[in-house]
Amino acid sequence: MAVAADGRASDGSDKIRMNPSATHTQEAGQRRALITGITGQDGSFLAEFLIHRGYQVHGIVRRASTFNTERLDGIYADPHNQGVKLSLHYGDITDGAGLRRILEQTAPDEIYNLAAQSHVRVSFDQAEYTADAVATGTLRLLEAVRDYISSGRKLRMYQAGSSEMFGAAPPPQNENTPFYPRSPYAVSKVAAHWYAVNYREAYGLHLSNGLLFNHESPRRGETFVTRKITRALTRIKLGLQENLYLGNLEARRDWGFAGDYVEAMWLMLQQPEPDDYVIATGESHSVREFLDVAASHCGLDWRKHVKTDPRYFRPTEVDVLCGDASKARKRFGWTPKVSFSDLVKMMVENDLELAEQERTLTRAGHVVQRGASQR
Ligand code: NAP
Ligand code: F7E
């Protein structure tokens, strides 16, 4: 039994497909990919990208009391159909035995390790858990992979590193820039990076670290600043909320489009030799500039609505990130396709539509559920 994108099995129960045989729906010669963090922004884009290229995709999903597979809705297919391309498996990056089992069952050609507690501000509140998931989680997966390849089986791995690892190092940042992490999240990503390098050197693993700068989309989590802004401004435009509470507006980030960035992950694994690559646009904008562009698309003056809330400031901030991705361009021709202004426009247009749906429901007397996280 395969699983619906909302985590429901097609028999109407809420079970995710467990213990599938590796070749359940596989065609001869078809490549298999395993994605940790498949339910996240990048995981969903990557799964689509790989399915489009003919891969059989397996993804690890955490058990949650609510459905957490919404981003996969577009690629879900009824598991009773022939040739289903997506299979989901319950697992957790903090559970090594489960990871090993999934690895054996799915026998992937490529693994993409995207699972993470990925929120920088939250990592100051949940430092130990962040280290367990981001740093030790990567180590758990590497240990499983090490044993897996020791019997001669082949596998390539992508490790999701981050521009946050550069932290306070001055821009432009490239593969030779020394790391200077400024949060428990960033420190954990640096540890994961060096675990990955060590396993590559010690066991001959084909493993590439992506050093990806911020990348966004209409699927971005709503507590990251870009999506928080586009969700709020579009709701303000339609009269659904009055104010938007933010922290530091002067921080500068190199923001690209997530769809472009997952292609770079895949390209890294197609290279004859593993290596580490910065993936970035080479342009840096402040949060204030993001507000300017988003508000102009909405026809709003954001200064009338944006208030400061100290809880959104970080104990240590990363002031300026601006990446130099020339190595990736030279080695495998990667360049970003979506510009900053098109990215903001894409997010505003998506969120305007969501706000219109909310307004229609609200006017019809329905209560719209938006979650209670500290946005
Ligand atoms: P995201 O939207 O926050 O997704 C994170 C994914 O990890 C989700 O699927 C989440 O599951 C899963 N996850 C969290 N804790 C887990 C655990 N204990 N066990 C298993 N899975 C767990 O992040 P993203 O933006 O897609 O980023 C993907 C990866 O790239 C992350 O490692 C992130 O740190 C890194 N990265 C992101 C960016 C960026 O700008 N987006 C830049 C550089 C690096 P739930 O859906 O259940 O929460
Ligand atoms: O913050 C400032 C905040 O949370 C961007 C993750 O994907 O990218 C992401 O990390 C900037 C920071 O992303 C608010 O202080 C102001 O300077 O959207 P963010 P991030 O911290 O850059 C990297 C590459 C990753 O790897 C991470 O996983 O915006 N900011 N006011 C705010 N940020 C938030 N979240 N909320 C605010 O209200």
**Spacing, Cα 116 to ligand 1 middle (Å):** 4
The C-alpha atoms of residue 92 and residue 63 are separated, in whole angstroms, by: 8
Please give the pLDDT value at position 16. Answer: 43
Whether 18 is covered by a domain: the verdict is: no
Q: 3-class SS at 173?
A: strand
Phi, psi of 368 (to 5 degrees): -95, 125
Strands (E), 9-75: 32-36, 56-61
**Spacing, Cα 167 to ligand 2 middle (Å):** 12
The C-alpha atoms of residue 206 and residue 113 are separated, in whole angstroms, by: 13
Please give the pLDDT value at position 9. Answer: 36
The total of structural domains in the chain comes to: 1
Whether 351 is covered by a domain: the verdict is: no
Our answer to whether residue 356 is catalytic in this structure is no
Considering every ligand atom, which ligand is closest to the CA of 256?
Answer: 1
Please give the pLDDT value at position 114. Answer: 99
Select from 118, 157, 166 the residue to mutate for testing ligand 1; criterion: most ligand atoms less than 8 Å from CB.
118
Residue 162 CA, closest ligand 2 atom number: 26
Whether 213 is covered by a domain: the verdict is: yes
The C-alpha atoms of residue 154 and residue 146 are separated, in whole angstroms, by: 11
Whether 349 is covered by a domain: the verdict is: no
Please give the pLDDT value at position 195. Answer: 99
Q: Is 120 in the pocket of ligand 1 (CB under 6 A)?
A: no
CA dist 332 to 55, 114, 325, Å? Answer: 21, 22, 11
Tokens 């690559």 map to which residue? 277
* Residue 179 CB neighbour total at 10 angstroms: 19
**Spacing, Cα 31 to ligand 2 middle (Å):** 35
Which of 76, 112, 158, 185 is catalytic? The answer is 185
Q: 3-class SS at 179?
A: coil
Atom 29 (ligand 2): residue with closest C-alpha? 225
Please give the pLDDT value at position 71. Answer: 97
CA angle 333, 290, 282 (to 5 degrees): 25
Whether 160 is covered by a domain: the verdict is: yes
Expressed as residue numbers, the domain containing 276 is 32-220+255-283+322-338
Please give the pLDDT value at position 79. Answer: 74
Tokens encoding 301: 């003056």
Instruction: State which amino acid sits at residue 327.
Output: K
CATH code where residue 329 lies: 3.40.50.720
> Do 178 and 247 contact (CB within 8 A), yes or no?
no
The C-alpha atoms of residue 3 and residue 6 are separated, in whole angstroms, by: 8
Q: Kindly give, in sequence order, each residue whose CB lies less than 8 Å from that of residue 232, ignoring residues fewer than 6 positions away.
A: 241, 244, 305, 375
Please give the pLDDT value at position 19. Answer: 34
Tokens 């640096």 map to which residue? 190
Considering every ligand atom, which ligand is closest to the CA of 90?
Answer: 1
Please give the pLDDT value at position 371. Answer: 67
Tell me which residues of the chain have a pLDDT lower than 70: 1-28, 371-375
Please give the pLDDT value at position 214. Answer: 99
Whether 2 is covered by a domain: the verdict is: no
Q: Is 35 in the pocket of ligand 1 (CB under 6 A)?
A: no
Whether 227 is covered by a domain: the verdict is: no
CA atoms within 13 A on the CB side of 202: 12
Whether 80 is covered by a domain: the verdict is: yes
Our answer to whether residue 65 is catalytic in this structure is no
**Spacing, Cα 245 to ligand 1 middle (Å):** 24
Our answer to whether residue 162 is catalytic in this structure is yes
Atom 3 (ligand 2): residue with closest C-alpha? 248
